[in-house]
A and B are shown apart, each in its own frame.
Chain A
Amino acid sequence: MIRGRASKFGDNISTDHITPGRLAHLRSNLPELAKHVLEDADPTFASRVEKGDFIVAGSNFGLGSSREHAPLVIKMAGVSAILAKSVARIFFRNAINLGLPVLICDTDNIDDGDELEVDLATGTVNNITKANQLTFGKLPEVMLRILDEGGLVPYIQKYGDFKL
Chain B
Amino acid sequence: MGKTLAEKILSQKSGSDARSGDIIIARVDLAFAQDTTGPLTVRQFQACNLKRLADPKKTALFLDHAAPSPNRQISNDHRLLRQFAGETGCLIYDVGGGICHQIVAETLAKPGDVIVGADSHTVTAGGLGAFATGMGSSDVAIAFGLGKTWFRVPESIKIVLSGKFSRGVGAKDLILYLIGNIGADGATYKALEFGGDGVKNLTMSQRFTIANMAVEAGAKVGLFPTDSTTHDYLKSQGRGDHYQPLSADDDASYERTINIDLATVEPLVAKPHNVDNIAPARELKGTKIQQVFIGTCTNGRLEDIAIVADMLKGKRRHPETRLIVAPASPQVLLAAIRAGYIYSLVEAEAIILPPGCGACLGLHQGVLADGESCLSTANRNFKGRMGSPEAFIYLGSPATAAATALAGEITDPREVA
Contacts of A161 in B (CB 8 A): 146
Interface residues in B33-88 (C-beta closer than 8 Å to A): 36-37, 39-40, 44, 47-50, 65-66, 70-71, 73-74, 76-77, 80
Contact present for B363 and A24 (CB under 8 Å): yes
Contacts of A98 in B (CB 8 A): 138
Provide the bound-state CA to CA distance between A141 and B384, in Å: 36
Q: Could you say which of A20, A22, A90 contacts B120, with CB atoms under 8 Å apart?
A: A90
Instruction: Please list 29 pairs of residues, one from A and one from B, whose beta carbons are closer than 8 Å in the complex, sorted by A's number.
Output: A16-B380, A16-B384, A17-B384, A20-B362, A21-B361, A21-B384, A21-B387, A24-B363, A26-B73, A27-B36, A39-B389, A40-B383, A60-B188, A68-B118, A89-B188, A90-B120, A90-B134, A90-B135, A93-B136, A94-B135, A94-B138, A151-B138, A152-B139, A153-B47, A156-B48, A157-B47, A161-B146, A162-B25, A164-B24
Provide the bound-state CA to CA distance between A156 and B382, in Å: 34
Q: A127 in the interface, Cβ–Cβ < 8 Å?
A: no
Provide the bound-state CA to CA distance between A89 and B188, in Å: 6
Interface-central residue, A65, A69, A162, by most chain B CB under 10 Å: A65
State how many angstroms separate the Cβ of A120 from the closest Cβ of chain B: 20
In the complex, residue of chain B having the shortest beta-carbon distance to the beta carbon of A72? B40
**B-facing mask of A120-164, CB < 8 A → 1, else 0?**
000000000000000000001110000000011100110001101
Q: B157 in the interface, Cβ–Cβ < 8 Å?
A: no
Q: Could you say which of B44, B73, B152, B383 contacts A29, with CB atoms under 8 Å apart?
A: B73
**B-facing mask of A43-65, CB < 8 A → 1, else 0?**
00000000000000001100111
Provide the bound-state CA to CA distance between A34 and B220, in Å: 28
Q: Could you say which of B50, B119, B363 contacts A22, with CB atoms under 8 Å apart?
A: B363
In the complex, residue of chain A having the shortest beta-carbon distance to the beta carbon of B119? A66
Count of CB-CB pairs between chains A and B under 8 Å? 147
Interface residues in A5-50 (C-beta closer than 8 Å to B): 12, 14, 16-17, 20-22, 24-29, 39-40
Q: A88 in the interface, Cβ–Cβ < 8 Å?
A: yes
Contacts of B76 in A (CB 8 A): 28
A27-B36, A88-B218 known; A66 vs B382 contact (CB < 8 Å)? no
Contacts of A26 in B (CB 8 A): 73
**A-facing mask of B329-365, CB < 8 A → 1, else 0?**
0000000000000000000000000000000011100
Q: B402 in the interface, Cβ–Cβ < 8 Å?
A: no
A12-B274, A60-B188, A89-B188 known; A157 vs B48 contact (CB < 8 Å)? yes
Provide the bound-state CA to CA distance between A157 and B122, in Å: 27
Contact present for B25 and A164 (CB under 8 Å): yes
Q: Could you say which of B25, B77, B142, B363 contacts A152, with CB atoms under 8 Å apart?
A: B142
State how many angstroms separate the Cβ of B384 from the closest Cβ of chain A: 4
Residues in chain A within 8 A of chain B (CB atoms): 12, 14, 16-17, 20-22, 24-29, 39-40, 59-60, 63-69, 71-72, 86, 88-90, 93-94, 97-98, 140-142, 151-153, 156-157, 161-162, 164
Contacts of B148 in A (CB 8 A): 162
Contacts of B122 in A (CB 8 A): 66
In the complex, residue of chain A having the shortest beta-carbon distance to the beta carbon of B361? A21
Q: Could you say which of B44, B120, B152 contacts A153, with CB atoms under 8 Å apart?
A: B44
Q: B207 in the interface, Cβ–Cβ < 8 Å?
A: no
Q: B137 in the interface, Cβ–Cβ < 8 Å?
A: yes
Provide the bound-state CA to CA distance between A29 and B122, in Å: 26
State how many angstroms separate the Cβ of B10 from the closest Cβ of chain A: 14
Contact present for B185 and A25 (CB under 8 Å): no
